[in-house]
Structure 1
């Protein structure tokens, strides 16, 4: 496509901060993201609460959940919350969705069997879209049922119209396994995996396209995204130390070579070379998640100002011999 381009977003980790977000909005980034759990083992935020802060503390960029553990939520309530935030933000909300399962106690506490998280997520996505369609609607599913209900998003003061954009926010599916790829192909507006090598991302693109073909779905307008842990520093060794300290323990003490395949680190030149491989594999929207305990805005700034300009979309493959 002639208008195809590469864009960067940023994950506001560890927590949304008003000054950090204001500084990030001055950078050449298109989006900011935050996720969360309901009952994680540490004192961290919940996804929709964090999204509300992103909505309130930004003016220009797209804001999204990366990710919302959808099976933990009653989808009618989530639909209303997300619709209101989209309306109040001027249509800037996006909803990254995952099935969760890392913390079984969350599922036990809300009365959702962890083994049902996949089908519940699929049905909840359909519920969101049904309610966001507008007008009186009904849904009769395995987990959720309602008749003749209508979701009415709030209207920002002084504005006419429905507030929320028609059809509601885009739903972007996260994950790393085939069921998530199937969900993205059949129900999602985009694919946003994490902790993937360029080779694995290329395979996931092929799988999503295969699943879409099987479902008879045209993926025009579909978003090819990646939530990417990384560190960019002037001192490449410091960047590599960032990633090792940030991710090494959390992901089973993986050796540096393995971390480097899924979490690029180094100077702007070094990281650009790694990210170009993801672009070649199909990524068009990177969410840069600083894998560092300090100086995260510097990581985002170097990524946006010095890595992004180095990336190029590969030329389309020739479809025939020259005449």
Structure 2
């Protein structure tokens, strides 16, 4: 686990917006994220389309999918799309991915059995890495076959343009259950769960470390992230109302106590205290997802300017 620093990202909710992204790039924000389903019940965008917009509309920050429901996609096409975006952005792309499953109709529409989504995700991650490695690629899997094909990412014009980074973008696994933790430990470059408490995050860290040890994998450089729905306001009651309205309906008749554990809300001081619990549990990169119907830039600004400076790394061995 990296102990170097705590960094902050932001989710471009509800949709990527050029002016919003420009404002975020002026803040001490390291990354911006957006995901999206193919056929959700609401009118929202698609993950790679949104990623392309964020790539074009930013200059400095890392840009990522938060998250891409990978089993819905043919991995060779995704490998090409992401490679080209990484090349065009100067190596700023990251791939938050998950298995999906919230909307059965998506899987039926693209011809992917819902019960295959985990196995397809694992194999798709292998295909992405194989194609991004460069040179002729061969693969014989349960779902995909490659016969000496080669991916050649576009190289942007201009002297010294770096092109796609060696090995391609990092693959950051999202989820909340043990299979997702196993996937992160064995195949991922990082862990980015959502809607989990600090205690649950700490348990996931231990589970991933155990899985990696069993697989003989060194987790040096592994990214410990958290996609965190929250609201931060000068008026703490308004922030709590934001979260209750944004997420409460998903939890039936008992949202209050549950939301308090998994979606911090309140003043900067109150939210900083909650985020410190996640830091103590192992989080080093927060993606702040404003759980609010309006003024989301205020949430991100307060997170960057007033919450982040209050966070500190755990003291270990007498030094921070």
TM-score between both structures, scaled by the size of structure 2: 0.97
CA distance in 2, matches of 1:253, 1:59: 44
**Aligned pair 1:155/2:171, yes or no?**
no
State the secondary structure of the residue aligned to 2:64: strand
| Corresponding residue for residue 132 of structure 1 | 132
Contact 2:192–2:226, Cα closer than 8 Å, also in 1: yes
Contact 2:133–2:167, Cα closer than 8 Å, also in 1: yes
Number of aligned residue pairs:
318
| Corresponding residue for residue 72 of structure 2 | 72
* Shift in CA distance, 283/250, structure 1 to aligned 2, threshold 3 Å: same
For the aligned residues, what is the CA RMSD? 1.2
Contact 2:185–2:209, Cα closer than 8 Å, also in 1: yes
CA distance in 2, matches of 1:227, 1:254: 22
Please report how far the alpha carbon of residue 253 of structure 1 lies from its aligned counterpart in structure 2 after TM superposition: 4.5
Contact 2:87–2:165, Cα closer than 8 Å, also in 1: yes
TM-score between both structures, scaled by the size of structure 1: 0.96
State the secondary structure of the residue aligned to 2:24: helix
**Aligned pair 1:31/2:31, yes or no?**
yes
CA distance in 2, matches of 1:254, 1:4: 38
CA distance in 2, matches of 1:217, 1:310: 34
Contact 1:153–1:162, Cα closer than 8 Å, also in 2: no
- Uncovered stretches (5+) of structure 2, i.e. residues with no partner: none
- Uncovered stretches (5+) of structure 1, i.e. residues with no partner: 319-323
State the secondary structure of the residue aligned to 1:289: strand
Superposed CA deviations along residues 92-146 of structure 1, whole A, max 9, x for unmatched, are 0000000000000000000000000000000000000000000111111000001
State the secondary structure of the residue aligned to 2:20: helix
* Shift in CA distance, 63/254, structure 1 to aligned 2, threshold 3 Å: farther
CA distance in 2, matches of 1:286, 1:158: 34
CA distance in 1, matches of 2:297, 2:253: 26
| Corresponding residue for residue 226 of structure 1 | 226
